[in-house]
Structure 1
Amino acid sequence: MSGTARAVIQLPAHLRTINWFPGHMAKGLREMRNKMRQVDVIIEVRDARVPVSSMNPAFEAMLTRAATDRYILLNKIDLADPIATKRHVEVMEHNAKIALPDSQTWVFPVSLSDRSFLRKLIKDLKCKAAADPLKYSKMTLMIAGMPNVGKSTLINSLRNLGNGKGKAATTGGQPGVTRAVSGTPIKIVDEPTRIYLLDTPGIMDPQIRDPIQSFNVALTGGIRDHLAGMENLAEYLVFALRVRQREQALVDLFKMPSALLAPPVGAKPTVDPESGVLVEPVLPMRPVLDHVARRIGALEKGGVPNRDRAAAFMVQAFRTGKLGRFTLDTVPEPLATPVRAHEDGEEATNTTAQADFP
């Protein structure tokens, strides 16, 4: 791709906001509110590729009111841009000091397959309980986060490392496997202080207003694929790569002519009437999908390209890191003044602070 400056690339108008908030999520959110008083520590899991989009404003508001200590685990860092992750954490650290003065929040970029980190986490929780035995005759954790960020994997690993027990939570490749707050706390440590945890269903933001944010969540697997549409996800993937001028990843992986990822010959940028900036024409996706289908052998009778299979292959290539390490969320602005979070999510704040284990 040329290194020259180019017109602004806008999200295609037909890629609209995806909202997914089924009944079990609404019920789960109510149950989490009811159980918050029983909880000593929150462990929130987010996807490191979308550390802002995978934050639930309604849960953030709930936590702000409860003033409960929290660990935030940015999972899947092996798939995220390390420089972007570092910048996100710096802003989170700053914001925590302003917005959550009555509690502590620590953030750790992790891979939940790293058992050494999880051992340190268990050790840290034991030390926290031992430091205040009157407060922690027992300790109750709540595992929280949006769908498909790794909560059930975390629970099973903590239980296995803490007391040698097997699976306590069902895992799956699609979001929405866990559908209710666990009725019986799951014991992960027997002594010196008993530590229990509550599993919760993945809870989406009830109203995602920004289509880019909703597609960020969908592209990383947080929304069921059929709700977004596989070809729409592939088109958003191409948009996200082009905005970052990283189309070459697709060119290299699929031996794709770079011209397929450029505006059509003869098409000229238009002037946006509101901003006055030049905007590139929408990129035709059919030639891109047809090329990928031929490369992977996704052909129907008569050699007709199967675009849905091609789109699914492209999306899976992104999700498994074959296109490189990407962070889809931009780094938010640091907070200047405290922001009171509302439970409808309209003014909720993403706030975290980084700390090392003692």
Structure 2
Amino acid sequence: MSLLKTARRGLARALPTVRNITTLESTSTGSCPNLRDEFRLPRNFDYRVWFPMHMSVQMKKMEGKLRSVDLIVEVHDARIPVSGRNSTFMKQFCSIRPHVLVMNKMDLINLKKYRQPIEDYYRHEHGVTNIIWTDCKRRYSRALSGMQNMILDILTHEPRFNRSVKTEFQIMVVGIPNVGKSSLINTWRSINMGTKQSAVIEGARPGVTVRVQNRVRVLDKPPMYVLDTPGVLSPSTRNVNEVMKLALCDLILESATNPRYVADYLLYWLNRSGDYSYLKLLEIPGNPTDDIDKLLIRICTEKDFRVRCLTGLTYEDRWDFDRAIALFIKLFRKGIIKDCCLDRDLLRPYMD
């Protein structure tokens, strides 16, 4: 049984009935909650469980393809520009081949506030200067054209790496799961080839691509091909905060985490950031709280989220915590919350 199913069954048993729940609502009169010093998960919850076998196997296959690859395009989620990166890419791929870093999902952060600090961070900490900002879901041709021109310029001026005669170019697209690698390829191909048909499978969940794909032609002159690769995580180097940031950005399968823990981390992060806008966005009265159960009860109460449960021989109304959790997390994933950059503390040295 998955961790998610186990947690949901436990939650259903623990939920009070609707008629007995009003006493649990927050009665705090302070303007700020008593904040936790740090975010903690239950001791028996292993956050390193999601590292499917295909990841390690496909990483080796990706390494085997490097001999025929001219350039690496690393796609990254702009909401976690520092903590979400897989350091293995830089060590094993980007140090061997020319490299372009694509910050995707730029529409989900305050670009005016974070673009320069993020670029300064990568320039000072990693020597990375080839950075492109995109939102592949909206198919911005301007950003993709800029990326393509940058790639062609790099390939023209970089050493050939054991490729004496060059009649075509081959690009490898890498990144952690669900950052938009397949969307980038399909958009790139659509703009250049004039077709809306997807060449590689894409989806709104991590783990859609599970193996290194056949190459896809994205440009005729000069001939340019792209290899789509599966998202690869390295959980051995992750701490609790990094893993929860990945889960909050929907970069880890929910079956490997637990939506309640993800919602709890979002609440913790918002309160630590001094952002209490979730109360207004959720249209719930009262003061902020740092207790996820109290917040979920208030959401259920205001939205009248109920579910019918069989208890013994009769049915009872219980609050639908699953629905409340989904609504709360949606505020972040859809960019409804005004500031969705989870690494703002890590970028502070580079901000004015």
TM-score w.r.t. length of structure 2: 0.78
* Contact 2:68/2:170 (8 A) holds in 1: yes
Identity fraction in percent: 25
Aligned pairs, number:
304
Question: Which residue pairs with 2:39 in the alignment?
Answer: 11
* Contact 1:17/1:210 (8 A) holds in 2: no
CA offsets, 1:105-125, max 9 Å, x none? Answer: 511232222221112222333
Distance 1:286 1:8, change over 3 A: closer
Does 1:53 pair with 2:60? no
1:89 Cα shift? 1.6
Distance 1:209 1:131 in 2: 36
Distance 1:252 1:160, change over 3 A: same
Higher helix share: 2
Alignment match of 1:256 (pick from 284, 288, 293)? 284
1:40 Cα shift? 1.0
1:332 Cα shift? 5.8
Question: Which residue pairs with 1:305 in the alignment?
Answer: 319
Secondary structure (helix, strand or coil) at the match of 1:239 reads helix
* Contact 1:49/1:81 (8 A) holds in 2: no
Distance 1:65 1:121 in 2: 20
* Contact 1:48/1:76 (8 A) holds in 2: yes
Distance 1:127 1:164 in 2: 23
Does 1:140 pair with 2:170? yes
Does 1:106 pair with 2:130? yes
Question: Which residue pairs with 1:173 in the alignment?
Answer: 204
1:64 Cα shift? 4.8
1:36 Cα shift? 1.3
Q: Where does 1:135-284 land on structure 2 (aligned, <5 Å)?
A: 136-165=166-195, 166-182=197-213, 184-191=214-221, 193-246=222-275, 248-259=276-287, 261-262=288-289, 283-284=290-291
Question: Which residue pairs with 1:292 in the alignment?
Answer: 299
* Contact 2:72/2:94 (8 A) holds in 1: no
Question: Which residue pairs with 1:122 in the alignment?
Answer: 148
Distance 1:185 1:176 in 2: 19
Paired residue type of 1:305:
W
Q: Which range is displaced more, 105-114 or 6-15?
A: 6-15
1:57 Cα shift? 1.6
CA offsets, 1:42-68, max 9 Å, x none? Answer: 1111110101222112222102541x1
Distance 1:208 1:251 in 2: 35
1:218 Cα shift? 0.6
Question: Which residue pairs with 2:123 in the alignment?
Answer: 93
Q: Which range is displaced more, 8-17 or 84-93?
A: 8-17
Paired residue type of 1:107:
I
* Contact 2:185/2:228 (8 A) holds in 1: yes
* Contact 2:71/2:155 (8 A) holds in 1: no
1:144 Cα shift? 0.6
Distance 1:63 1:296 in 2: 49
Distance 1:205 1:61 in 2: 13
Secondary structure (helix, strand or coil) at the match of 1:223 reads coil
1:6 Cα shift? 7.3
Alignment match of 1:81 (pick from 100, 107, 110)? 110
Secondary structure (helix, strand or coil) at the match of 2:306 reads coil
Paired residue type of 1:210:
N
Alignment match of 1:21 (pick from 37, 51, 59)? 51
Distance 1:127 1:57, change over 3 A: closer
- Unpaired segments ≥5 residues, structure 2: 1-28, 309-315
Distance 2:34 2:324 in 1: 28
Distance 1:60 1:94 in 2: 15
Secondary structure (helix, strand or coil) at the match of 2:130 reads strand
Question: Which residue pairs with 1:275 in the alignment?
Answer: none
Q: CA RMSD in A?
A: 2.7
Q: Which range is displaced more, 249-258 or 3-12?
A: 3-12
1:84 Cα shift? 3.3
Distance 2:98 2:223 in 1: 18
Distance 1:135 1:244 in 2: 54
* Contact 2:86/2:233 (8 A) holds in 1: yes
1:145 Cα shift? 0.4
Distance 2:283 2:37 in 1: 23
Question: Which residue pairs with 1:266 in the alignment?
Answer: none
Question: Which residue pairs with 1:344 in the alignment?
Answer: none
Distance 2:169 2:70 in 1: 6
Secondary structure (helix, strand or coil) at the match of 1:45 reads strand
Secondary structure (helix, strand or coil) at the match of 1:187 reads strand
- Unpaired segments ≥5 residues, structure 1: 98-103, 263-282, 335-358
Question: Which residue pairs with 1:315 in the alignment?
Answer: 329
Paired residue type of 2:202:
T
* Contact 1:122/1:162 (8 A) holds in 2: no
**Bigger relative contact order (CA 8 A; separation at least 6):** 1
* Contact 1:70/1:105 (8 A) holds in 2: no
Question: Which residue pairs with 1:348 in the alignment?
Answer: none
